[in-house]
Amino acid sequence: MASQAEAQGSVAGSSSWTSFVKSIASFNGDLSSLTAPPFIVSSTSLTEFSSYWCEHPSLFAAPAKEADPAKRALLVLKWFLSTLKQQYAGRSEQYGNEKKPLNPFLGELFLGKWEDAVGTTELISEQVSHHPPATAYSINNLATGVHLEGYNAQKATFKSTINIKQIGHAVLTVPIPGDADKKTETYLITLPSLHIEGLLFGSPFIELDGSSFITSSSGFTAKIDYSGKGWLSGKKNTISAVLYPTGREKEVLYNISGVWTKTFEIHSGPAKTNSSKTLVDSHDATKVEPTGLVVAPVEQQHPLESRRAWAKVAAAVAKGDMDTLSFEKSKIENAQRELRAKERSEGRVWERRYFSEFKGQDPVLESLGTHVGLPLTGAWS
């Protein structure tokens, strides 16, 4: 039986890989609905990806200790940029190439917590929709009250490469330190687009592109531009960001430049004035170890929790046992189809455990969405 590493090593030259790439090129529609061959399937469900938002809890909670609103906004931006490596490159660095995560079933859960110098930070992630598929998440640092919530879905299409539009947004709530009325400020966070490079060589990896934004109720906005290595110029995983008073983009308070998988620097003022004197801070993603997420042992988890539900699939992936992988994966997917059919026949709908659908106008989108180009209905489409 082939090991996982051996199976991966033979991917690029295999006829199966060539056939898969051809099927992508000829597929018409959302690629997320395309069944991936077992040899590129990950053992990790998409519900686990929510944990990448907080692999550095100290950075996540840091804004709650900063009294200056502009510096608080900068700390939020730094935290966001620090999440990019694990969100979009951690798996390709670990396994040698990006693999297709398991598509969560409706109601799937992923629960965990981080314990470190800033106390306990709790994670709840739930698959709240299947058509279209969407994951909702909540991350809360108990000591400071910093709280992140949001939802994420993806729509993938093919045009010379796989392009993925991330649908959704996140909202970060930060208590204002020292405020007698215990007021909070809100940050609306949009998500970058991405595409898959390296398909033809059998070593796919993610590259971010376009722009994303973070805008706050305290009057500051960050714009992050993403670019990669082209045929003639550029560096892989490049970012360029600016923080400015909302509506006054030319009045740059801070700028950030670098590589999100390696090192980026933070300078005061616009980039044209950057020097050793304007350097405020830096972050080296290769040297900052993520804080381990504490998850209950599989045997103690609820049957709907990801690692218990997909345990046999994950074991088959680790062994490189493609037959068992296909069998166990199909078993779960068919059981879910039967559940949905039963619900429809009985006139029932699935009830979410931790999240509820927001009815009416979202006040965060109403107050902040126009600053970052989000419609009042969010990015959902």
Per-residue pLDDT for 176 more than 90? yes
Say whether pLDDT at 18 is over 80.
no
Model confidence at 299: pLDDT above 90: yes
Closest CA to 225 of 240, 236, 206: 240
Mean pLDDT of 192-206: 77
40 within domain boundaries? no
pLDDT at 96 over 70: no
d(C-alpha 171, C-alpha 367), whole Å = 12
DSSP class of residue 292 equals P
pLDDT tens digit sequence for 203-252: 778 889 999 999 999 999 999 999 987 655 568 899 999 999 999 999 99
The average pLDDT across 108-128 equals 98
pLDDT confidence tier of residue 37, bands split at 50, 70 and 90: low
Domain of 82 in residue numbering reads as 46-94+104-310+350-372
Closest CA to 137 of 122, 120, 116: 122
Instruction: Average the pLDDT over each of 151-160, 239-248, 352-361, 371-380 and give the range with the smallest value.
Output: 371-380
pLDDT at residue 38, as a whole number: 65
Q: Is the pLDDT of residue 179 over 90?
A: no
Q: What pLDDT band is residue 85 in, cutting at 50, 70 and 90?
A: very high
Distance CA 170, CA 151 (A): 7
Q: Give the per-residue pLDDT at 3.
A: 46
Per-residue pLDDT, 4: 46
pLDDT confidence band for 10 (50 / 70 / 90):
very low
> Does any domain span residue 336?
no
pLDDT of residue 163: 82
Alpha helices per DSSP H over 181-321: 306-309, 311-319
Q: Is 99 part of a structural domain of the chain?
A: no
| Confidence (pLDDT) at 16 | 66
Number of domains within the chain:
1
Q: Does residue 120 form part of some domain?
A: yes
In a domain, residue 41? The reply is no
Q: Is the peptide bond before 132 cis (omega within 30 degrees of 0)?
A: yes
pTM, full prediction: 0.89
Instruction: Mean pLDDT check: name the lowest of 74-78, 229-233, 331-335.
Output: 229-233
Three-class secondary structure of residue 246 per DSSP: coil
Per-residue pLDDT for 380 more than 60?
Answer: no
**pLDDT score at 200:** 64
pLDDT score recorded for residue 358: 78
Number of C-beta neighbours around residue 334 at 10 A: 10
Q: What's residue 12's pLDDT?
A: 44
Contact in structure between 223 and 213 (CB atoms under 8 Å): yes
Output the pLDDT for position 36: 65
In this prediction, residue 32 carries a pLDDT of: 62
Q: How confident is the model at residue 331 (pLDDT cuts 50, 70, 90)?
A: very high
Mutual orientation of helices 322-345 and 311-319 as an angle, nearest 10°? 160
pLDDT over 70, % of the chain: 83
pLDDT of residue 229: 75
pLDDT band, residue 118 (cuts 50/70/90)? very high
Buried b (16+ CB within 10 A) or exposed e, 336-363: beeebeeeeeeeeeeeeeebeeeeeebe
Share of the chain above pLDDT 90, in %: 65
Is the pLDDT at 153 greater than 50? The verdict is: yes
CATH for 184: 2.40.160.120
Within a domain: 194: yes
pLDDT at 25: 60
Assigned domain for 17 exists: no
pLDDT over 90 (residue 150): yes
Asked if residue 361 is part of any domain, the answer here is yes
Q: When comparing pLDDT for 162 and 149, which is higher?
A: 149
